[in-house]
Amino acid sequence: MSTLASEKKKSSSRNGRAAPELIFGDLWEYDPSPETADPKLKSRYELFINGEFVAPKSGKYFDSINPANELKLAEIALAGAADVEAAYQAAQNAFDKTWSKLAGRERAKYLFRIARLLQDRAREFAVAETLDGGKPIKESRDFDVPMAAAHFFYHAGWADKLEYVAPGARVAPLGVVGQVIPWNFPLLMLAWKIAPALAMGNCVVLKPAETTSITCLKLAEIIRDAGLPPGVVNFVTGAGEVGAAVMAHPLAAKVAFTGSTEVGKIIMRSLAGSGKKMTMELGGKAANIVFDDAPLDQAVEGIVNGIFFNQGHVCCAGSRLLVHEPVADQVIAKLKNRIRVLRVGDPIDKNTDIGAINSKEQLRKITELVDSGVKEGAEIFQPACRLPTKGFYFRPTIFSDVTMSHRIAREEIFGPVLSILTFRTVDEAIEKANNTAYGLSAGVWTDKGSRILKMSTELKAGVVWANTYNKFDPTSPFGGYKESGFGREGGRQGLLDYGKLA
Amino acid sequence: MTSAAREISFGFTLQRENSERMSVRFSLPAFRRLFDEIGPVDQIGVEERVAKYTTRSIKKNSKLWGLKTAVSMVDLTTLEGKDTPGKVASLCRKALRPHDDPEIPQVAAVCVYPAMVRHARRVLGSDTAVRIASVATSFPSGQAPLRTRIGEVKSAVADGADEIDMVINRGAFLAGEFDRVQDEISAVKEAGGTATLKVILEVSELETYDNVRAASFIAMEELREGDFIKTSTGKTSLNATLGNNQVMIEAIRDFFLDTGIAISMKPAGGIRTAKQALQFLIAVKETLGDAWLNNARYRFGASSLLNDLLRQIEKEKTGAYQAPYYFSEAAESY
């Protein structure tokens, strides 16, 4: 098929005509359209321990900034070891005295209440999430907040049906669970972590990422308003040391971590032999595989969604595009035209497709890896879009002529950067897709059903999407193979990771 | 699957076929190659893509520009059994002067049945930018002998039609007689002479996006720069949707990038509100680019759309919605 197309192109260039091009200019510019809902931010956020907002014992605070303009949003309490201790004591106390003794249907009521209160304040939370993290408002509005509420609803449904979750066995809660979550989906990861824990009857001590603590502490307001018994959920804020304290605390019966593979390994090393249950959801370098019979325009849309969703700050991002050689040129040409109309800019604008990079540090890391790609000889393409002068932004970037030995094909970039490799046969596609330390997700694009089934069996990835990408649902378990971690979140499997068979 | 199987058998039987059968069967492999080349369409993927257009937020000046541009793209339409010269005259007057506001442009064309063309021409005169489009070829079914359809086209052009909106032979398409579909388009094009040709695919009768994409290419191969492909007649249950529009403008884009020939697009039927029209224009801007944001390259086949566009323009200018009786009514078709 591509042969025909390329022959025609050659003949037109023989006629001396310029190759036809589309014009994506400024004939019809969209006016700014900022979301105007009030995020109702406080100037200072305290720790949430035992149902109350309390100042950190050290009296120290750190700033949370808006990555879109580098302006300070609020001060966040910096927890110390004593605060983490207080949080665990509160959680253990709540577990022993109230939460584990409540009937499942009673726990369900609290979860339903949290879900509904979150829906009531959806716009407010969406704006707060966008200001704090830099993701486009259309994503926080249409994905993060509704999906977070959906996780509470889903697990509320499980709370009174736990006798059916493991047929033939009874399940019991573990106790207090320590959880640390990343900055890419602050509210959603929070929901992923605490909803199943609470449904099963556990109590929680959770630390959000230091750059994105605000929606977590706003959710604390909802938890308080929902009347959840004090101590069932506790939030401690701060950077790595606080996280380490949360993970290492002796009262933690289980720890759950979502973040980088590097930190995950440190946690696993430090907890080896402690007898704590663990689930780890770590990095990824997913292969998005496009065969020559695929619906190409929809595949291009899926590639864009796979790597540019949330600025590429997605552990399951389709960061390696494996494209069948017969259609490689065609796919790359379509992709370039598609990227030219992506709108990079102020995340609070409702028309923004790609928002701000979460932090200066992350921007530095992305820049460094992109430079390495250029240095190692891959061909870079970036659209000529204007970027705001303040704030952390990075153009959507695609690299073609990438091989498996390039750093940009091996290391997780966690930014809007796509590496394109080609393959000739199904076996080669599988081999290249699995030739990575990671195994979180993969995508397959083909019109052939049997090939989808074969690929989903052979790809070593926790999730394989067929003719779509980045689809999530509370009922569907999510998690990795190899260095992408272990344990599942979501669905019956995710729930079981928060209980023990009794 | 059956067609593929048939194709394989031709290789062996070709020599022994009589020439009439051979001409039909010869072309099938060629069309299969074409369909292979243009590739399939994933329904869910298309519908997800177009759902994103509906979340775009168009405000202030950009909204005003979009609304005015949409007015200039309207093919103001009346296609009813009860159409009279009087009704057509009122439609033409509305086309020339959609609203009292002088800043509002004229519409692109009026679209009427062939019998009404001469009445439209009488009202519009010869010195007008508003064009006359006529739905010839036994619209909407197309179920008449080719001879009859060609005659209709010729008489519409003779009466003063600038543009011919033809229907494709859906029956032939669904029976796999792609060459017949193409030959008929070619015959109509010839009969229309210099008149702009708009080829109606009648997407709801083709049913799948794969078919819509294939039919778009079959038509475009016969068309000249400036000719249109058009979604529907407006006479079936499902007409222009963002999904159909997307599949067709992606076909136009691919055909343009391949051949350099820019085909125009006309969604028709079911577009009643200004909000919908803006969503279609967003699709054009983000798929085909600036060169298609004008009425030579993009049209709306509509009637009630026009007054909603005018209402929204006045609302943007004055900050308040005006009563419906401030806008003259001239059409009540699709």
Distance CA A364, CA A384 (A): 20
Indicate the number of domains in chain A.
Answer: 2
Q: Does residue B140 have a cis peptide bond before it, meaning omega lies within 30 degrees of 0?
A: yes
Is the confidence at residue B15, as pLDDT, over 50? no
For residue B14, the tally of other CB atoms under 10 A from its CB is: 12
Q: Flag whether pLDDT at A268 surpasses 70.
A: yes
Q: Are B228 and B199 in contact (CB under 8 A)?
A: yes
User: CA B332, B333, B334: angle at the middle one, nearest 5?
Assistant: 125
- Contact with chain B for residue A33, Cβ under 8 A: yes
CA angle A345, A350, A355 (to 5 degrees): 30
**What residue type is A416 in one-letter code?**
P
Neighbours of A271 (CB within 10 A): 17
To the nearest whole angstrom, how far is the Cα of A217 from the nearest Cα of chain B?
Answer: 29
Tokens of B16: 């022994």
Name the residue facing A301 among B40, B45, B257 (closest C-beta). Answer: B45
Do A377 and A264 share a structural domain?
Answer: no
CA A141-A143-A149 angle, 5° bins = 90
From the list A67, A71, A484, the residue with the least C-alpha distance to A311 is A67
Map residue B85 onto helix, strand or coil.
Answer: helix
Bridging pattern class, strands A71-77 and A171-173: unpaired
Between β-strands A233-235 and A203-207, what pairing exists: parallel, antiparallel or unpaired?
parallel
In a domain, A35, yes or no: no
Q: Which of A46, A281, A411, A483 is flagged as catalytic?
A: A281
B193 touches chain A (CB under 8 A): no
Rounded to 5°, angle at Cα B241 from B237 and B244: 105
Strands A52-54, A417-423: parallel, antiparallel or unpaired by DSSP? Answer: unpaired
Cβ neighbour number for residue A473 with a 10 Å cutoff: 13
**Structure confidence at residue B1 as a pLDDT band (50, 70, 90):** very low
Q: Is B1 on the interface with A (CB under 8 A)?
A: no
Q: Residue A18: what pLDDT?
A: 80
CATH topology of domain B43-326: TIM Barrel (3.20.20)
Report how far residue A35's alpha carbon sits from residue A355's, in angstroms, rounded to the nearest whole number: 14
Residues B203 and A146: their CA atoms lie apart, in Å, by 34
pLDDT tier for residue B331 given thresholds of 50, 70 and 90: low
Tokens of A31: 């006016």
> Is A452 a domain residue?
yes
Q: Which helix (H) or strand (E) holds A234?
A: strand A233-235
Query: What single string gives the DSSP state of each residue in A252-313?
Result: EEEEEEES-HHHHHHHHHHHTTS--EEEEE-----EEEE-TTS-HHHHHHHHHHHHHGGGG-
Distance CA A92, CA A370 (A): 46
Contact A451, A426 (CB under 8 A): yes
In a domain, A420, yes or no: yes
Residue A382's identity, in one-letter code, is Q
Q: Tell me the percentage of chain A whose pLDDT exceeds 90.
A: 95
Instruction: Using the predicted structure, report yes or no on whether residue B13 has a pLDDT greater than 60.
Output: no
Residues A346 and A432 placed together within one structural domain of the fold: yes
Q: In this complex, do B56 and A20 lie within 8 Å of one another by their Cβ atoms?
A: no
Q: What is the pLDDT of residue A214?
A: 98
Mutate to test the interface with B, among A30, A141, A324, A444 (most CBs of B within 10 A): A30
Q: Which residue has the tokens 């909204």?
A: B63
Residues of B in contact with A383 (CB under 8 A): none
What confidence score (pLDDT) does residue A403 get? 96
Q: Give per-residue pLDDT as tens, B20-29.
A: 444 444 577 8
Q: Give me the residue label for tokens 């001060």.
A: A75
Residue A403 belongs to domain with CATH number: 3.40.309.10
Task: Find the length of chain A.
Answer: 502
ipTM of the complex: 0.93
Across the beta sheet with A277-281, what order do the strands follow? A52-54, A47-49, A233-235, A203-207, A176-180, A252-258, A277-281, A485-486
Cβ-count burial of A500 within 10 angstroms (0-12 exposed, 13-18 middle, 19+ buried)? middle
In chain A, whose CA is at the least distance from the CA of B56?
A351
For residue B172, CA distances in Å to A321, B153, B176, B231 come to 40, 20, 6, 17
Number of Cβ atoms within 10 Å of the Cβ of A465: 22
Q: B258 and A31 in contact by Cβ < 8 A?
A: no
Reported pTM: 0.93
User: Does residue A311 share a domain with residue A245?
Assistant: no
Contacts of B40 in chain A (CB under 8 A): 293-295, 447
pLDDT at B29: 84
Same domain, A448 and A493: no
A59-65 average pLDDT score: 97
- State the Cα–Cα distance between residues B287 and A315, nearest whole angstrom: 29
**Measured between beta carbons, which residues in chain A are less than 8 angstroms from residue B290?**
23-28
Give the span between the Cα atoms of B31 and B19, in whole angstroms. 19
CATH number at residue A154: 3.40.605.10
Contact B57 A341 (CB under 8 A): no
Which residues, at least 6 apart from A13, have a Cβ–Cβ distance to it below 8 Å? A19
What is the model's pLDDT at position B2?
Answer: 39
Closest to A31 measured CA to CA, from B298, B61, B12:
B61
Q: A76 and A140 share a domain?
A: yes
Question: Measured between CB atoms, does A343 come within 8 Å of chain B?
Answer: no
Cβ pair B44:A32 closer than 8 A: no
DSSP letter (8 states) at residue A142: I
Does any CB of chain A come closer than 8 Å to the CB of residue B297? no
User: What's the token pair of residue B211?
Assistant: 């078919």
Average pLDDT over residues A170-188: 97
Smallest Cβ–Cβ distance between A31 and the set B55, B60, B289 belongs to B60
Report yes or no: B96 at the A interface, CB cutoff 8 Å: no
Position A409, amino acid: A
Structure token pair of residue B26: 């010869």
| Closest residue in B to A29 (Cα–Cα) | B62
Query: Does residue A145 sit within a domain?
Result: yes
Contact B37 A1 (CB under 8 A): yes
Catalytic residues of B: 165, 230, 266
Give strand ranges (E) for chain B.
Answer: 74-77, 109-112, 131-134, 163-167, 196-200, 228-230, 264-266, 300-302
Is residue A502 within 8 A of residue A492, CB to CB? The reply is no
> Which residues in chain B are closer than 8 Å to A138, comparing Cβ atoms?
55
Task: Flag whether A299 is in a domain.
Answer: yes
The pLDDT value recorded for residue B22 is: 41
* Domain match, A247 and A213 both: yes
- Shared domain for A271 and A377, answered yes or no, is no
Counted residue by residue, chain B has a size of: 334
Strand partners, B132: B110
Question: For chain B, where do the domains classified as CATH 3.20.20.70 start and end?
Answer: 43-326
Q: pLDDT tens-digit profile of B65-90?
A: 999 999 999 999 999 999 999 999 99
Does residue A234 share a domain with residue A154?
yes
Instruction: Identify all chain B residues contacting A337, using CB atoms and an 8 Å cutoff.
Output: 253
Q: Are residues A51 and A172 in the same domain?
A: yes
Residue-range definition of the domain harbouring residue A113: 44-282+481-501
Asked whether the beta carbons of B219 and B252 are under 8 A apart, the reply is no
| A1/B39 touch (CB, cutoff 8 Å), yes or no | yes
**B253 in A contact zone (CB under 8 Å):** yes
Separation CA B266–CA A177 (nearest Å): 59
Does residue A442 form part of some domain? yes
Q: What angle do CA A179, A181, A182 make, to 5 degrees?
A: 165
Residue A382 forms contact with B (CB below 8 Å): no
> Nearest chain A Cα to B210, which residue?
A295
Name the residue of chain B whose CA is nearest to A334's CA.
B254
Average pLDDT value for residue range A188-204: 98
The verdict on a CB contact (< 8 Å) between A28 and B66 is: yes
Are residues A308 and A255 located together in one domain of the fold?
no
For residues A170-182, give the mean pLDDT: 97
Predicted confidence (pLDDT) at residue B3 exceeds the cutoff of 80: no
Has A241 been annotated as catalytic? no
Taking the CB of residue A8, how many other CB atoms lie within 10 A of it? 14
Those residues whose C-beta lies under 8 Å from the C-beta of residue B113, and which sit 6 or more positions away, are B79, B83, B134, B135, B139
Average pLDDT of the residues in B137-163: 97
Q: What pLDDT was estimated at residue B191?
A: 97
Residue A335 confidence (pLDDT) above 80: yes
**Burial classification of residue B259, based on how many CB atoms lie within 10 Å of its CB (0-12 exposed, 13-18 middle, 19 or more buried):** middle
Question: Is there a single domain that holds both residue A133 and residue A170?
Answer: yes
Q: In the prediction, which pLDDT does B195 show?
A: 98
Does B56 sit within 8 Å of A351, measured CB to CB?
yes
B254 vs B87: CA distance, rounded Å:
40
Contacts of B295 (CB under 8 A, 6+ apart): B72, B73, B108
Q: Nearest-CA residue of chain B relative to A5?
A: B258
In this model, does residue B5 exceed pLDDT 50? no
Asked if residue A213 belongs to a domain, the reply is yes
Rounded to the nearest 5°, which phi and psi values hold at A302? Answer: -70, -35
Tell me the shortest Cα–Cα distance from B206 to chain A, in angstroms.
18
Q: If DSSP codes are grouped into helix, strand and coil, which group holds residue A10?
A: helix
- Pairing label, strands A277-281, A233-235: unpaired
CB contact under 8 A, A20 and B260: yes
A33-47 confidence digits (pLDDT tens)? 999 999 999 999 999
Nearest residue of A to residue B33, measured between CA atoms: A1
Which of A17, A288, A297, A352 should we substitute to test contact with B (largest number of B Cβ atoms within 10 Å)? A297
Cβ contact, residue pair B33, A295, below 8 Å: no
Q: Which residues 6+ apart lie within 8 Å of B158 measured at CB?
A: none
Look at residue A422 and tell me if it is in a domain.
yes
Q: What is the pLDDT of residues B184-225, one digit of tens each?
A: 999 999 999 999 999 999 999 999 999 999 999 999 999 999
Asked if B41 reaches chain A (Cβ–Cβ under 8 Å), the answer is: yes
Q: Is residue B172's pLDDT more than 60? A: yes
Please tell me which residue in A46, A139, A203, A315 is annotated as part of the active site.
A315
Alpha carbon distance, N-terminus to C-terminus of chain B: 38
CB–CB contact B45 A295 (8 Å): yes
Residues of B in Cβ contact (< 8 Å) with A22: 253, 256-257, 288-289, 291
Strand ranges inside A259-404, DSSP E: 277-281, 287-290, 320-324, 379-381, 397-400
B36 in A contact zone (CB under 8 Å): yes
Considering only CB atoms, B46 lies closest to which of A29, A298, A351, namely A298
Q: Is the dihedral of CA B120, B121, B124, B129 positive or negative?
A: positive
Q: What is the pLDDT of residue A7?
A: 42
Over range A227-232, report the average pLDDT: 98
Q: Do residue A298 and residue A275 come from a single domain?
A: no
How many angstroms separate the CA of residue B250 from the nearest CA in chain A?
8
The tens digit of pLDDT for each residue in B274-306 reads: 999 999 999 999 999 999 999 999 999 999 999
Task: Pick the residue from chain B with its C-alpha nearest to A350.
Answer: B57
Interface test with A, best of B36, B57, B60, B250 (most A CBs within 10 A): B57
Chain A residues closer than 8 Å to B61 by CB: 31
